[in-house]
Every structure is written in structure tokens, then in C-alpha cells.
Amino acid sequence: MARLLSVALTLPILVSTLSGCAMLRTADIFTTEDEVALGLEFDQEISKEVEYLNDPVVQAYITDVTQKLAKVCQRPDIAYQAKVVLDEEINAFAVPGGYLYVNIGLIRAATSESELIGVMGHEIGHVVASHGTKHLTQQYGLAVVVSLITGKDPGLLKEIVGGILAVGGQVALLKNSREDELEADALGVQNLYDAGYDPEGLATFFETLLGESGDPDKFSQVLSTHPATSERIAQARGLIADLPPKSGLQQNSAQFQEIKKRLPPPRAPNKKDGGS
């Protein structure tokens, strides 16, 4: 984290630069080590607030899928890890440094393995593009993000995590721009294809979400962090059409169906945070 200390020492210069011209790319400011350190701070706080599924078989499956995607993603230098959250909301999210969280509601709602993995590839796309760190820097400023990385502002960290876990996740970390969502979708499509999964799963999952419109509450909560617009479906299908033909792309598996059977019976959403 030596470079981070250097950033802290030169903050006045950087702040002046950022206010006087276009925002520097996050990658020009923070190293991968910095992002991982930031993600660890978030993960430790998130783990205090959520309940994880206590099923080693399901967790091992999600871990295996994550590693398959991680090996071929465009930022393989990060040690990606995913945890299964005991929450019925159809959702997944990622924080900087490669920490992913997959709700059992998402696993249950996915009609095929490629749909579930499509969402996971999308979340890895956000990490690849440093969207979380970028939004935190834009929202709170460089000095504050440095304090979060070094663990010097636990109060703000707790506040941000509370926003992530609240209804809609209305904080800068997850409230990605249209451009960011499209970029994560594009990275997700390529990630699935390279890992040997059918990238069509991402597009069909968006259609699955649109099909949830019969339940307005569930629909609005899902779309708050994963807006399934016709534009995103069209982009995904366009990108898929441009990919070279590749045989054997996996769409489903008996293992995935067995994993779904292992999930606990559905229960009411967590009243504490209302889901995400």
C-alpha cells in the first residue's frame, strides 16, 4: 500500500487537479492492492449485517463458478470471491477488490445456469472496470476514499454498507450510470463466452426480470440495481451475434439444478433491510 501513502501525501495537488480538469481514471489513482484493501473493509462490515447460507455444497458451487469466470476475465490479477447471502431478493452485488455477494433469491429465480452466471459475469464486469471505486471517489472525494481504505472512517463505512443493503441500494457504490451498466454487460457477455458458458443467459435473465412485472414490489427492487431495459437486452444480443461461433457453450447443468434443490424453503424478505 506504499503507493496509497504517496497518494495521501499528494492529496492537495490531486484535489486541485481533479477540480480543474476532467476526472482522472480511477486506475490512475488507486492500485489493485488499494482496491482489494477497500473491498476487505467493506466485506468485513457487510459480514456483520447479512446472514450467509450455511451450505458448503452450494458455496463450493458458487466459488467454483466464480473462479472459472475469474480466470478468463479482463482483470485476472484479483482474487475474486463470492458468498451466498440468505436473502430472497433477486439480486447480487459486488464491491471493489473482487468481493461478490449472491442472494439465494437470484439462484432460485434463474431458469438456467447461464442466467445465474450471466449476472455473476456482469458483477465481475463492475469490478474489472473499477466502477465501485470510481463512484465512491466521485461521491465522497479522494481523501475520504483513502480514509476508507486505511480503516480510518468506520462510521462512514457502516453508513455506506447500510445503504448498499437497504431497499434499492441507493448509494453511489451501486447506483451505476447507464454507461457503467452497459459496460458491465459487455464485459459480462465476453466473460461468459470465454469461460465456456452461453452468454445468451445474460439476455434471457433480463427478460426473466421483465417477466416479473406481475409482482410490482419485487420488480422495482430488482430493477433498482439491475435495470433490465430493452436497450440492455438489445446490446447483449448484438454483442453475442458478433462473437465467433463456438461449440459446447454450456447453458445448463444437472449440478445447477441440484444446487437449486438444496436451497432452503422461501421465507419473507429481511425486514431489517428490506432486501437490495
Give the residues across from 100 on adjacent strands.
82, 94
In a domain, 34, yes or no: yes
Residue type, 116: L
In a domain, 258, yes or no: yes
What is the percent of the chain where pLDDT is above 90?
A: 57
| Residues 146 and 38 sit within 8 Å (Cβ to Cβ) | no
Instruction: Say what the pLDDT of residue 10 is.
Output: 36
Q: pLDDT digit string (tens) for 168-190?
A: 443 444 567 788 889 999 999 99
Among residues 14, 231, 43, the alpha carbon closest in space to that of 132 is found at 43
Number of structural domains in the chain: 1
Provide the residue range defining the domain that includes 228: 2-262
Q: pLDDT digit string (tens) for 130-171?
A: 999 998 888 888 888 888 888 888 888 888 888 778 744 434
Task: Return the SS3 of 99.
Answer: strand
Q: Could you tell me the three cell numbers for 221?
A: 427492487
In a domain, 197, yes or no: yes
Whole-angstrom CA distances from 149 to 177, 182, 240, 258 are 23, 27, 37, 39
pTM above 0.75, yes or no: yes
In a domain, 215, yes or no: yes
In a domain, 275, yes or no: no
Averaged pLDDT score across all residues of the chain: 82
For the cut 50, the answer to whether the pLDDT of residue 267 exceeds it is yes
Range 98-105 average pLDDT: 96
Task: Return the SS3 of 98.
Answer: coil
Q: Could you tell me the three cell numbers for 88?
A: 430472497
Q: Could you tell me the three cell numbers for 48?
A: 456483520
In a domain, 267, yes or no: no
Strands (E), 38-163: 81-85, 92-95, 99-103
In a domain, 40, yes or no: yes
Give the residues across from 84 on adjacent strands.
102
Predicted confidence band of residue 228 (pLDDT cuts 50, 70, 90): low
For the cut 80, the answer to whether the pLDDT of residue 21 exceeds it is no
For the cut 90, the answer to whether the pLDDT of residue 251 exceeds it is yes
- Bigger pLDDT: 113 or 158? 113
Q: Which strand (E) or helix (H) includes residue 233? A: helix 230-242
Predicted confidence band of residue 216 (pLDDT cuts 50, 70, 90): very low
In a domain, 272, yes or no: no
